[in-house]
Amino acid sequence: MLNFPIYLDHNATTPCDPRVVDAMIPYFTNSFGNAASRNHPFGWQAEEAVDYAREQVAKLIGADPKEIIFTSGATEGDNLAIKGVFEMYASKGNHIITCNIEHKAVLDTCKHIEKEGGEVTYLKVLPNGLIDLAELEAAIKPTTILIALMYANNEIGTIMPVQEISAIAKKHGVLFFSDAVQAVGKIPVDVNKDGIDIMAFTAHKMYGPKGVGALYVRRKNPRVKVTAQIDGGGHERGMRSGTLNVPGIVGFGKACEICRTEMAEETARISKLRDKLQNALLQVEESYLNGDKEHKLPHVTNISFKYVEGEGLMMGFNKNIAVSSGSACTSASLEPSYVLKALGLGDDLAHSSLRFGLGRYTTEEQIDYTIEQVTNTVNKLRDMSPLWEMYKEGVDMNSIEWAHH
Amino acid sequence: MAYSEKVIDHYQNPKNVGTLDKGKVNVGTGLVGAPECGDVMRLQIEVDETTGVIKDAKFKTFGCGSAIASSSLATEWLKGKSIDEAMTIDNMTIVEELNLPPVKIHCSVLAEDAIKAAVNDYRKKNGLEEIKFDESVIH
């Protein structure tokens, strides 16, 4: 039996796994100590729990526990990594390379760096959402201190050529930071095999709680340091002060352990459902897949249905199915997704996109229902779309002088 | 953001979806908006030539639920009005009727523009002077 609403927006956030919640609960009440209280059992217990979670988190990404800095989430991690490197390595240079489909937490931080006197190169992505490695290498200058490129994109799910990027970074002695929010816990990520120096990720995208994340900061080959952005008691090796969110960290650790032990099985199951959904929806006339088909996370697909508008489309089923759209009819600017536009999509296709993010509790029955509902709504809206009528009559829509407002 | 019941009703049961024969001299067509903006509305009126009263109205809209509802409502209101009365339909009355939130006011503006564009198209076809208004409308 289907229970509504169906959640297919797992790139936005995920529900907590009940096993995660169970692990967290004692740390709200009985074991409530401050992990920095070194002189009594309450503090010891909290510290022990944090140490254990740090190991669980480190193990998922092939890191040493000492290389894990707990944060409030990936936005903080992105800020700490970029601003922290910019300040720490100021004597070496002031140039950062990133790309134009990064998350706003990276792009806006880079904008801030520019105001502080830094120089930022925003690489353009190819139409499949990946970067051109030759262009990356050509952008490196003597003053380059950091390459900041995401592991996988949040809107289209494409996976960047991380190992090739890190090889280029290493060759030129530049640090490589990756926002890996969408990848960690979903696909194997190993900071050593991948050659990543700094990496931000967060618990709530992998069935853990909101408000806790981690920044991986390499300690060997090379030893990396970032300047703290929050000053205080010198927690987390002086890189991030503030009382540790013990229940959150415990939940994060448990979430990492579950992802690590169940990833292979879960990926196989979810990617099969994703493929079923993707293949069925691409059968719809004038529908287009956004982003590379191969280099892609197993649980995401992003499809544009030409001649229907995304928000209008979602309205047809959003009481029962939760997805997201690249359309931005509610924003004052009316600008559609910058990620889709960066792929070279026209505004019309960007406005017509839906992102489906599958997850741990997605069932085949839910996918079948989604295929049916989305297909029916697309057909219904096309029957009332003037653009669809023009397309069917062979009118060249580029020849029409539209009134832009 | 939740939609009002009236918007949902128009979205689920849109009134007067369709196409009138734009070749007819008594049919006025207004096509406003742009695909790049995520909204395109086509609104058509068929005028009774003896009385000057709008006897039929049809729409097709590419856009969000509020845009669909605004145009659906506009076609309902147009039927039975004279072409002069049609020009008095104000976007704010659409906003009020549909309980549109501030971010959706542009949908009602587009509907008002579509009405004016359709009336002007009819006037032009019938040798009447076009009525000027602020928004640029191309059909």
Question: Hey, is the C-beta of B103 within 8 angstroms of any chain A C-beta?
Answer: yes
Report the CATH number that the domain containing residue A332 is assigned in CATH. Answer: 3.90.1150.10
Look at residue A196 and tell me if it is in a domain: yes
Look at residue A402 and tell me if it is in a domain: no
| Residues A243, A187 share a domain | yes
| Residues A145, A76 share a domain | yes
| Residues A281, A164 share a domain | no
Global ipTM: 0.92
| Residues A177, A43 share a domain | yes
The residue to which tokens 């740090």 are assigned: A54
Q: What is the mean pLDDT of residues A145-149?
A: 98
User: What is the band of A213 on the pLDDT scale with cuts at 50, 70, 90?
Assistant: very high
> What pLDDT score was predicted for residue A327?
74
Rg (chain A; Cα; Å): 22
| Residues A295, A191 share a domain | no
User: Are the Cβ atoms of A384 and B61 closer than 8 angstroms?
Assistant: yes
**What is the number of other CB atoms lying within 10 angstroms of the CB of residue B105?**
16
Look at residue A212 and tell me if it is in a domain: yes
Enter the DSSP assignment of B19.
-
Give the pLDDT confidence of A358-371 residue by residue, as tens digits. Answer: 999 999 999 999 99
| Residues A222, A296 share a domain | no
The pLDDT of residue A399 is above 60: yes
| Residues A113, A64 share a domain | yes
| Chain B nearest C-alpha distance from A256 (Å) | 33
User: Are the Cβ atoms of B136 and A403 closer than 8 angstroms?
Assistant: yes
Backbone dihedral region for residue A254 (phi beyond 0: left; psi -120 to 50: alpha; all else: beta): alpha
Interface test with A, best of B12, B15, B40 (most A CBs within 10 A): B40
Residue among A351, A350, A370 nearest A359 (CA): A370
| Residues A251, A292 share a domain | no
The pLDDT of residue B92 is above 80: yes
* Residues spanned by the domain of A379: 6-11+263-394
The pLDDT of residue A334 is above 70: no
- CB-CB contact of A237 with A47 (8 Å): no
Give the pLDDT confidence of A107-125 residue by residue, as tens digits. Answer: 999 999 999 999 999 999 9
- Pick the last residue of a domain from A214, A237, A259: A259
Look at residue A240 and tell me if it is in a domain: yes
> What pLDDT score was predicted for residue A346?
87
The pLDDT of residue A405 is above 70: no
| Collapsed DSSP state (helix, strand, coil) of residue A376 | helix
Chain A residues with CB under 8 Å of B136 CB are 403
| Residues A50, A133 share a domain | yes
- CB-CB contact of A227 with A87 (8 Å): yes
Q: Which of A96-110, B95-109, B117-131 is predicted most confidently? A: A96-110
The pLDDT of residue B139 is above 50: no
A384: nearest CB among B1, B68, B104 = B68
Q: What is the mean pLDDT of chain A?
A: 95
Question: Hey, is the C-beta of A286 within 8 angstroms of any chain B C-beta?
Answer: no
Look at residue A59 and tell me if it is in a domain: yes
| Residues A301, A154 share a domain | no
B60: nearest CB among A316, A334, A384 = A384
Counting residues of chain B whose pLDDT is more than 70, the rounded percentage is 95
Report the CATH number that the domain containing residue A158 is assigned in CATH. Answer: 3.40.640.10
Give the pLDDT confidence of B29-58 residue by residue, as tens digits. Answer: 999 998 888 899 999 999 999 999 999 999
A315: nearest CB among B11, B37, B110 = B11
Give the pLDDT confidence of A36-88 residue by residue, as tens digits. Answer: 999 999 999 999 999 999 999 999 999 999 999 999 999 999 999 999 999 99
CATH 3.90.1010.10 is held by the domain B5-124: yes
- Pick the last residue of a domain from A221, A242, A259: A259
Active site residues of B: 37, 107
| Residues A56, A42 share a domain | yes
Enter the DSSP assignment of B1.
-
Counting residues of chain A whose pLDDT is more than 70, the rounded percentage is 98
Look at residue A405 and tell me if it is in a domain: no
The pLDDT of residue A329 is above 60: no
Q: What is the mean pLDDT of residues A269-292?
A: 98
- CB-CB contact of A148 with A103 (8 Å): no
| Residues A195, A129 share a domain | yes
Q: What is the mean pLDDT of chain B?
A: 92
Look at residue A404 and tell me if it is in a domain: no
pTM for the whole thing?
0.93
Question: Hey, is the C-beta of A385 within 8 angstroms of any chain B C-beta?
Answer: yes
Angle at A260 between CA A254 and CA A261, to 5 degrees: 95
- Pick the last residue of a domain from A229, A259, A289: A259
